[in-house]
Amino acid sequence: MGKNQHVVKTDDGWGVRGEGNSRLTSEHRTKNAAENAGRQIAKHQQSELVIHGRDGKIQDKDSFGKDPCPPKDRVH
């Protein structure tokens, strides 16, 4: 299982950052574009996508790994 991917607000837009990394994996003009890029990375790495709001608080999570106790996700 790979690193969780975080969609975060940047000075110039939105970015995707691997958990524990100080540098962004990718930068995007819109949050939607960053979410799509982060989702592809998380699927490839079988990890979790963590989406943050403008205030930095977690808004949503989506898991693409093998979770032995998956939640009953009604959103995705």
The average pLDDT across 26-30 equals 98
Question: What is Dmax (Cα atoms) for the chain?
Answer: 38
What is the pLDDT, as a whole number, of residue 65? Answer: 74
Listed in sequence order, the residues at least 6 apart from 43 whose beta carbon sits closer than 8 Å to its beta carbon are 64
Taking all residues of the chain, what is their mean pLDDT, rounded to a whole number?
91
HSE of 47, CA atoms in CB hemisphere, 13 A: 18
Could you give the percent of the chain with pLDDT greater than 90?
Answer: 78
What is the pLDDT, as a whole number, of residue 32? Answer: 98
What is the pLDDT, as a whole number, of residue 2? Answer: 81
Tell me the backbone φ, ψ of residue 41, rounded to 5 degrees.
-65, -45
CA distance 52 to 16: 10
CA distance 32 to 1: 24
The average pLDDT across 6-34 equals 97
Q: Which two tokens mark 36?
A: 């799509």
Note the pLDDT tens digit of each residue in 39-74.
Answer: 999 999 999 999 999 999 999 999 987 766 666 666
